Amino acid sequence: MSSFFRPLFVFFSTVLIGITSYVSICAGGDWDWFESNSSFAPEAYVQDKSYEQLFYSINMFYGEDWYDNAHSNRFKESIIADWKKYLGKKLSEEQLNYYVLSDSSNVELSKISKAILKKENNKLAQKFDLKDAKLKQFFAFMNLAKSLETYSNNVASWNYNTDSLDPMQYMSVGQAKKVEDIYNLSNDPFLKNRYWFLTMKSYFYSQNRNEAITFFNKTQAKVERNELYYRGLSYIAGVLYKNKEYARSNFMYSVVFDNCPKLRTVATYSFHPQENKDFQQALAIANTNSQKAALWALYGYYGDEVEAIQQVYTLDPKNKHLDYLLTRALNIAENKMNTTEWKYAEYGSKAKIANDSLHSKLYQVVTKIANEKKSNSPHIWNIAAGYFEIIKANNAKATHYFSEAKKTIPNTKLAQEQLKLFEIFNTIASVKKIDQAAEIQLLPNLKWLFVFEKENSSDKLRTQFLINWSRNYVSSLYKKQGNEVMAELFLRDADYYLNPVRTEKMITHLNTNKYSDWHTFANSLYNIRIDDIYEFKAIKYAYNNQISQAIAEIQKSSFANVELLGNPFNGNIKDCNDCDHVAFQKTKYTKLSFLQKVKELQEITAKNGDTYIENILLGNAFYNLSYYGNARLFYDNNIINQYNTNYLNDTYKNVLMSNAETEKYYSKALLLAKNDEQKAKAIYLLTKIERNTFYLTPVYIPWEVDYVVFDGFKKLKQYSKTKYYQEVINECGYFRNIVQK
């Protein structure tokens, strides 16, 4: 057996069942990103809620709240039900809830108890028939129970004056002994049972907790094995743990885990062998296979879940804990096998299954249990076996196991859909080539997975990984067959539209008037429309300075008249997109009119006249087209998908951050400059390009090497008497620092 895997944390093991509050180091939200790589929902087949927070999660806790927060409410329903049965109609359910569960009733309970003792006929006494023996006993018990909460709800507070915890307030042993005296005098079986628990609780919160063990040992043989008994047993387990009697403590927690579903989560979190010998000693204490199986079930939560399954199954093939252990083992296996490359998120997540990562021992154990048909829930084992056979590419075997599962599967929506999900997975995985027969086979299954799932499935059904995987799988089959268009429709390739031939193939496909049902479905998965492609081509031409072609393409799209937010022909000293966007603009440029203006300026410069201003404007235009400029909206396109981000992906980073065309026009403007003002401006604008280039080099290391004297700034110093130079001094702190040195 492998070394015992210690839990990430240990709750204070002297557990106050039902009242103690735990502090989680996790906070907020109900989303577990592990589920995006998982296809098996444990809730589908383990419907006992007591196991829910023990399901596998990469977070510390499983479930919407991420931690066990049921302490103040864990037993309220059973407590109220017990008293209601005992009292009959003597108190309404509303009154029971008030006197049993509400702290607001404490003062009133005290007054009623005094009225009973003094036989007073006050207003409170008149509300109830206090001559009724059971009613009198109820109020006496509740008054005593509430008086103990001073100790049971006591939490150590941090004292900032002493930098330490204030001492806890414990009940005196003598006070606890008085509660035991009441227990001894009680003859009513119902009340005696409750006074037994109240005595256990009193000693647990007393100055000598070992008295709880003494009382338990001399009375436990007479106590009914009900909820109160296991609550008391949990107190003993906590005391033993504090006494470092780990084997006995953990054995008792396992008994609670096995027999009291409401305490199953608490018992699991409190179970904590320090090392393997503690666990082995706990096993030695166990007298029955059921007790041993419970210990192994807890071991499976923290340690080797596969070993735990094997051991529990050997002890008891129908053990109730086996299903929960299988869900953990299966989800852990998924976490190791399944991956999603989120860097493809803007194109479609690339999901993969590492077949060789399937736990071989888990596969053998699950297959054995499924084949032997001895378990209490054969459907879950058949489903798990079928799932693993898909992973191993044994599709016929998977079909067999799923057929077996149908014989005993629960008739619940989630259970049925979970099986259907795996059957669809098997159908898709069995296809090795896409032809007409495969299309007919796949279409209804993919529609259910992609469409029906969104509208009708159970909330817990985990479909996202198989959606991503199926798109990737079908796409990969099309790639092998050389069908680039269909491969792209199922899973976008970041580089697809960088190839002009592939671009034209997609345009031809999307312009087709008639589609088969299969092609219509594939098109519905694709988030790129024909307009997006025309716009993309226009953007690509623009960055290549092929303006006429860019104009022709943008005119084919519906985006031609989209207005840019800033004036793309402005070239300011500071790069400030927001400033440019709110600045007054005499002329508002659309994507089309911007390109048309660029073409007009280029035609002027082509005549080789005095075109300093035109070259500056063209330089500004291409600068603002880049990531650094105010016209980023120009490349806001569904294919590029880089507009609302400061982290450009590698596919388009070099294009969007390039200032090559800008530098060409600014350099030409410098050559054509007729005076120092024009030269100063051209030099400074060229220096901005020098700066941007530096920031892209490995030499730039923030807070280490992030400040250099650019050559452009050295040249600019020659024009210190110009007005533009002074404007740069005022607006550019970087240059101002250089000048002042």
d(CA 209, CA 232): 12
| Kind plus residue range of the DSSP H or E element containing 159 | strand 158-159
Give residue 628's pLDDT. 94
11 has a pLDDT exceeding 50: no
Say if residue 67's pLDDT is above 90.
no
Q: Residue 247: pLDDT band by 50, 70, 90 thresholds? A: very high
Nearest Cα to Cα of residue 272 among 307, 245, 232: 245
Tokens 């029955």, residue? 288
Q: What percent of the chain clears pLDDT 90, i.e. is strictly above it? A: 72
pLDDT of residue 164: 67
Place of tokens 């589609």: 515
Mean pLDDT of 64-79: 67
- What's the alpha-carbon Rg for the chain, to the nearest Å? 37
Indicate the average pLDDT of the chain. Answer: 88
Q: Which of 252, 223, 224 is nearest to 238 (CA)?
A: 252
Close Cβ partners of 333 (under 8 Å, ≥ 6 residues apart): 358, 359, 362
Q: What is the pLDDT of residue 79?
A: 94
Compute the distance between CA of residue 235 and CA of residue 253 in angstroms, rounded to an integer: 10
Q: How confident is the model at residue 19 (pLDDT cuts 50, 70, 90)?
A: very low
Average pLDDT over residues 31-50: 82
d(CA 613, CA 669): 7
Residue 363 neighbours by CB distance under 10 Å: 18
Predicted local distance difference test score (pLDDT) of residue 62: 67
Tell me: the pLDDT tens digits for 472-503? 999 999 999 999 999 999 999 989 999 999 99
Ramachandran region, residue 341 (left: φ > 0; alpha: ψ -120 to 50; beta: rest)? beta
Which residue type does 144 have? L
Task: Look at residue 687 in the predicted model and tell me its pLDDT.
Answer: 94
| pLDDT at 23 (0 to 100) | 25
Let me know how long the chain is: 741
Q: What's the confidence (pLDDT) of residue 700?
A: 85
Q: How many angstroms separate the CA atoms of 116 and 136, rounded?
A: 7
136 touches 90 (CB < 8 A): no
Residue-range domain boundaries for the chain? 556-660, 673-741
Would you put residue 348 in left (φ > 0), alpha (ψ -120 to 50) or beta? Answer: left
706 or 420, which is more confident?
A: 420
Mind listing the pLDDT tens digit for each residue in 501-551?
A: 999 999 999 999 889 999 999 999 999 999 999 999 999 999 999 999 999
